[in-house]
Amino acid sequence: MTTTNDLFEEDLDLPDSTAQHRYAALVGLDHIKDRLMKEAELILQPKLLEDWSVRSHGTVLPALRWVAARPPLIIFAGDVGTGKTTLAETFADAIARRHGIDVRVKRLSLRARGSGAVGEMTRLIGTAFDVVLREARAAGPRQPFVLVIDEADALAQSREAAQMHHEDRAGVNALIRGISQIAVEQLGILVVMCTNRADALDPALRRRAAAEFDFARPNDAQRAAVFATIFDGIGLTASQIAELVALTGPTERGYGHTYSDLVDRILAAACLAAYPDRPLTAGLITEQIRANPPTRPFAERG
Ligand SMILES: Nc1ncnc2c1ncn2[C@@H]1O[C@H](COP(=O)(O)OP(=O)(O)OP(=O)(O)O)[C@@H](O)[C@H]1O
Ligand SMILES: [Mg+2]
């Protein structure tokens, strides 16, 4: 049976240099990072919006009540290996640094789904939110929290799905209750849900989200930026990079390499192929690209 101790992965306390590096290493997500920063900052530090209102209007505008009443939920949706988990776990590092505050990231474990015993998932999710609420109340407004619910479709499947068990529906209700409770208490807790399939998430949850961000595989320019970054220092020419970009794009397969294919697989494979007595070259990287085809998109899996 799942106990309270098993409900979370290890906390991440930010700022933290590892988080800073993981965040900075994300390529091609600047458009998401920019908007996410604003959304997240105002949920984690509601006072910033009040300060702006007073600066610009000489008073706290009534409009702020509606902004503040939005459920503190952000959804990251999209293809495999595109940086959802990494961004969810690290973006608050930038906020912590900018405002000189501590932010604690709590990550709900997949074990919170329980073993399927009647009422168990509801109880576990309810307990998880209780734990976060209790910690946030004790910490006060200077220490906001991010609650990351990864692989959220496992917990928050559409209640409309015909095959869904009663138990799963109750779990979704427990999630909605928890998020509402956070909004009511205005505790500076932001819930981030990551999923490969936004359309499998419960519509009632999606409707409540303050923002939903879509993550996709890297396009040509983004793959060029990845290659320039990860193979910095080996002297690749512009035309060699262009060849690597063409090799990793959507060919007759219809889909190209993911960020994680490039950063985690091809980079490592190329280094290991060169080690111990050869330099890294465009030729070696090309061999490894051919040997490591792109991960299939989530939607195409059987
Ligand atoms: N935008 C990116 N820029 C650079 N590297 C990336 C990017 N996205 C992912 N990666 C690399 O891929 C690895 C996996 O990323 P991550 O786990 O965040 O992806 P994900 O979207 O959560 O994937 P999944 O849907 O499979 O859970 C990271 O460790 C990182 O090295
Ligand atoms: Mg992930």
By residue count, the chain amounts to: 302
For ligand 1, atom 28: residue with the closest CA? 260
Mutate to test the pocket of ligand 1, among 23, 27, 86 (most ligand atoms within 8 A of CB): 86
Low-confidence ranges of the chain (pLDDT < 50): 162, 302
pLDDT value, residue 170: 72
Q: Same domain, yes or no, for 267 and 165?
A: no
Give the domain-ending residue among 215, 239, 256. 215
pTM metric for this prediction: 0.91
* Residues 66-101: tens digit of each pLDDT: 888 888 999 999 999 999 999 999 999 999 999 999
CB 73 within 8 A of CB 148: no
Q: Which residues pair with 77 in a beta bridge?
A: 195, 214
The 8-class DSSP code of residue 107 comes to E
* CATH number of the domain that residue 171 is part of: 3.40.50.300
- The CA distance from 163 to 28, in Å, is 37
Contact 257, 266 (CB under 8 A): yes
The helix or strand, by DSSP H or E, that contains position 161, with its residue range, turns out to be none
Task: State if residue 84 touches ligand 1 by the CB under 6 angstroms criterion.
Answer: yes
Residues 263, 156 share a domain: no
**Residue 255 domain boundaries:** 220-300
Q: Which of 215, 230, 261 is the last residue of a domain?
A: 215
CA nearest neighbour of 211 among 91, 294, 110 = 91
Indicate which CATH number applies to the domain containing 281: 1.10.8
Q: Report the candidate in 127, 99, 100, 96 with the shortest Cα–Cα distance to residue 111.
A: 127
Q: For strand 103-108 and strand 145-149, is the pairing parallel, antiparallel, or unpaired?
A: parallel
Residue nearest to atom 9 of ligand 1 (CA): 83
Indicate the helix (H) or strand (E) that contains 206. Answer: helix 203-208
pLDDT of residue 276: 97
Residues 128 and 172 in one domain: yes
The pLDDT of residue 121: 76
Q: Give, using CA atoms, the residue closest to atom 25 of ligand 1.
A: 80
Q: Name the domain count of the chain.
A: 2
What is the pLDDT, as a whole number, of residue 131?
95
